[in-house]
Amino acid sequence: MIKRLFYIAVILTGLNTNFFAQELDCKVIVNYEQLDNASKERVANFASIIENYMNTTKFTGSAWNWDKIKCSLNIFFTGSSDEIKYAAQAVVNSQRKIEGTDKYTLMLNILDNNWKFEFDKNQSMYFNTTNFDGLTSFLDFYAYIIIGFDSDTYDIFGGSDYFQRAYDICNLGSTASKYSEGWQTESTSYNRNGLVENLFNARYQQFRQDFYLYHYNGLDIFAKQPDKAVKNMSLLISNLFEIKDKIDRRSPLLKVFFDAKYNEIIEYMKKNPDNSIFKKLQAVDPGHVSKYLEAEKE
C-alpha cells in the first residue's frame, strides 16, 4: 500500500501523466499436440497474438500506475473443426509481489477446461466488452479476474469493479448461442459463472475481507512481524471454519483460493503455535486433506 500511495502522490503532483498504463505482464504458452498438422499451421502464431493482446490492452480504462501483474496462460488445444473453430483448456496463473521482499505469492492457478472459440490467423483482435466473442471475451474475463484478485489484497473489496466486469462478460456469454457452454452455471468443481457469483455472494464477503488481511497484514508484514502476520493469516481459516456449515465448501471461490494457496498456507501455519489450525483446514478445504494431515504430523 505504501508503494501505491506513493504513485497516487506522484499523480497528484502532476509528475506522472501516464494515466492509462497497461496492467498485465502476461506470458503465453501454447500446446498444439492434439491438433492435426493443418490445424497446427493455422494457429502457429496463436501464442504471440494472445500475448500481444493481453499485454497491450488497457483493461481498466483508468489509472494503473503500479507494477504490472505477472501472469501466464498455458493453453492446450484439444480439438478443431471448420478451419476456424477450436476447443481448448487453459491454466490461468497470476502472482503478486510480497511487499518489502523479492518473493512472490501465487494468487491464481485455475484450470479452465471448457473454452470454445473461433480464430483466424489473419484476424484482428479488438477489446470490446459490450459484444461477446468466444476468444477475446474469455481473455477479458480472466484479465479482470487477475486484476480483481490483485486489487482485493491492497484494499478491502478493492477488486469489486473488476469482478463486476467479469460478471457482465459471464452474463453475455451465458446467452451467446454459439458458445454459451462454459459461461453458464454448472455443477462442476469450477466454472466461471460460479466464481463471480461467489465473489458477490453475501456469504463470502467476510472471506474477501480476510483475503485482504491475509495478504496486506499477513504476508506483507511477515518479514518484520512474523507472529502478528501468522495470526492475521490464520484468521481467514478460523472464520471459514466458523461458518463451514453455512457455505458450500465445494464453492468455486474457495477452490480457486486453496488450489493456489494450500502449499503456502501449510508453510506459514507451521509457524502457528496452535496446531489445531490444520484440523480446521481439513474441514474447510477437503480437496487437500492429505497435505494437511501430513503437516499436522510434522
Q: What is the mean pLDDT of residues 10-39?
A: 77
Question: Is the CB of residue 34 less than 8 Å from the CB of residue 79?
Answer: yes
Residue 195 has pLDDT above 70, yes or no: yes
23 Cβ partners below 8 Å, 6+ apart?
Answer: 58, 59, 60, 64, 68, 69, 143, 147
Residue 140 has pLDDT above 60, yes or no: yes
CA distance to 106, 174, 190, 195, per residue, from 185 (Å): 26, 8, 10, 9
pLDDT tens digits, residue range 69-119? Answer: 999 999 999 999 988 999 999 999 999 999 999 999 999 999 999 999 999
211 Cβ partners below 8 Å, 6+ apart?
Answer: 152, 153, 236, 257
Q: Is the pTM of this model over 0.85?
A: yes
Residue 16 has pLDDT above 60, yes or no: no
Residue 11 has pLDDT above 80, yes or no: no
Which residue carries 484478485 as its cell? 149
37 Cβ partners below 8 Å, 6+ apart?
Answer: none
Backbone dihedral angles phi then psi of residue 116, each to the nearest 5 degrees: -125, 140
Q: Which of 246, 247, 255 lies closest to 286, judged by CA?
A: 255
pLDDT tens digits, residue range 201-254? Answer: 999 999 999 999 999 999 999 999 999 999 999 999 999 999 999 998 789 999
Kindly state the cell numbers that stand for 180: 454459451
Which residue carries 480472466 as its cell? 142
Q: What is the mean pLDDT of residues 286-298?
A: 93
CA distance to 24, 63, 166, 247, per residue, from 78 (Å): 26, 38, 25, 34
